[in-house]
């Protein structure tokens, strides 16, 4: 009888790349195998950790180490980014140590399901400046999010880290559209309200054309993106609304002059006033907006409008308009129209399954006429309106109620 052919594939060869001791009292080894590299080898990075620290922040590790005895004292993770895992492990151990130092009564409000979730303020700075943490790039930030999703880590543990990382690495003045499109998702996932607002505002004013998210090069996790109602849906109407505000500022005064007609003109210049006005706008390539808007950002159009010079070219009540002032006002109104998307408005406007009582109380339009009464960022009506994630009929009712109350004091 012929021997049965062995069809089992041989294990992929590995090579040890690095080893880190996260805790001197380690009782568990986590080996992270990266994707295959030259000659088909998988690089391995080993971390010496404490089991109690990783199980406190990961349901995956807790279940695996509790019920699967084959792991023993080593857990092998495949196709993960070792640098991202290192950040998670450093912060897990810091939080576990912080909880161990605190009296039991003081940490009750600092736990989730009896697990520590907080890091001491005095440790935050030193942790962030640990090797391989502060210099993390945007690609690794996405790997950090993916690891949290894959192994059920508590993302709130790294919210402080991301806020510091954002402050160090993000400079809106640099105008890197690709980076900012890559930042929207991490800002939302780490609940960085100020960052999410700033990124979405920059994109609304500075991006040309249809606004979409962008994944860093090398990130292939297709599930990692914001739902359309949380980004693409509101961002492009936000950009469109800025065009509407700008068009109104450019057109309204000219429309009044045209509506009055030449019968009310006493200087004989009515027929040429608006013609010269629109000719100057065309000259600086800022009009008509239907033609200019699709291929230019709002800020680029506003910059061109800054070069507008015409003054008053009529000599009667109908035709004498300070066109320069009209354009300055249009620029100012457009610039102040949108403050970016508000995470707090997005979350409180989502319908809740347990009825609408709390839902209506938290919508925030009934706080002395403010639309940011319960928000971490200051913003106006436009941001509240565009950030809305609830039902349209509820938004309209709140708007009507708001304007009715405001009208009583006018």
Determine the Cα–Cα distance for residues 180 and 193; give it in Å rounded to an integer.
15
**Mean predicted lDDT score pLDDT of the chain:** 84
pLDDT tens digit sequence for 340-355:
999 999 988 877 655 4
pLDDT in tens, 166-180: 999 999 998 899 999
Tens of pLDDT, residues 314-372? 888 889 889 999 999 999 999 999 999 999 999 888 776 554 444 445 554 445 567 78
Tell me: the pLDDT tens digits for 86-141? 999 999 999 888 877 765 555 445 544 444 556 766 678 888 988 889 999 999 99
In a 3-state reduction of DSSP, which class is residue 116? strand
* pLDDT: which is higher, 408 or 284: 284
Cα separation, 349 vs 372, whole angstroms: 12
DSSP 261: -
* Alpha carbon distance 67, 351 (integer Å): 38
Instruction: Specify the pTM.
Output: 0.85
**Domain residue spans in the chain?**
14-162
Domain 14-162 belongs in CATH node 3.30.710.10: yes
- Cβ neighbour number for residue 273 with a 10 Å cutoff: 25
């Amino acid at each position: 009888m012929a021997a049965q052919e062995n069809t089992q594939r041989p294990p992929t060869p590995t090579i040890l790349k690095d080893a880190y001791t996260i805790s001197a009292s380690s009782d568990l080894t986590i080996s992270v195998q990266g994707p295959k590299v030259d000659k088909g080898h998988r690089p391995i990075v080993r971390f010496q950790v404490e089991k109690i620290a990783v199980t406190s922040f990961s349901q995956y590790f807790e279940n695996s180490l509790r019920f699967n005895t084959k792991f023993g004292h080593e857990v092998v993770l495949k196709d993960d980014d070792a640098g991202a895992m290192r950040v998670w492990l450093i912060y897990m151990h810091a939080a576990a140590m912080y909880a161990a130092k605190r009296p039991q009564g003081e940490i009750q409000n600092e736990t989730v399901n009896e697990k520590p979730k907080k890091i001491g303020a005095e440790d935050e700075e030193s942790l962030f400046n640990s090797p391989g943490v502060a210099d993390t790039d945007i690609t690794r930030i996405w790997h950090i999010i993916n690891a949290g999703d894959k192994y059920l880590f508590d993302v709130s543990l790294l919210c402080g880290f991301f806020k510091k990382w954002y402050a160090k690495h993000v400079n809106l003045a640099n105008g890197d559209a690709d980076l900012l499109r890559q930042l929207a998702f991490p800002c939302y996932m780490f609940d960085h309200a100020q960052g999410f607002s700033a990124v979405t505002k920059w994109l609304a004013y500075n991006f040309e054309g249809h606004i979409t998210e962008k994944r860093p090069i090398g990130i292939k996790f297709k599930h990692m993106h914001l739902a359309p109602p949380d980004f693409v849906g509101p961002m492009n109407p936000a950009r469109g609304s800025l065009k509407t505000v700008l068009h109104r500022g450019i057109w309204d005064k000219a429309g009044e002059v045209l509506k009055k007609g030449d019968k009310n003109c006493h200087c004989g210049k009515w027929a040429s006033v608006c013609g010269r006005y629109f000719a100057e706008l065309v000259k600086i390539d800022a009009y008509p907006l239907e033609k200019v808007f699709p291929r230019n950002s709002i800020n680029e159009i506003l910059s061109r409008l800054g070069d507008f010079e015409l003054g008053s070219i009529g000599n009667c009540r109908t035709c004498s308009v300070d066109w320069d002032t009209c354009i300055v006002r249009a620029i100012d109104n457009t610039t102040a129209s949108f403050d970016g998307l508000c995470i707090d408005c997005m979350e409180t406007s989502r319908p809740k399954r347990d009825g609408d009582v709390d839902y209506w109380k938290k919508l925030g339009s009934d706080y002395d006429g403010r639309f940011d009464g319960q928000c971490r960022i200051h913003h106006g009506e436009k941001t509240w309106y565009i950030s809305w994630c609830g039902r349209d009929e509820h938004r309209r009712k709140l708007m009507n109620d708001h304007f009715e109350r405001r009208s009583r004091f006018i």
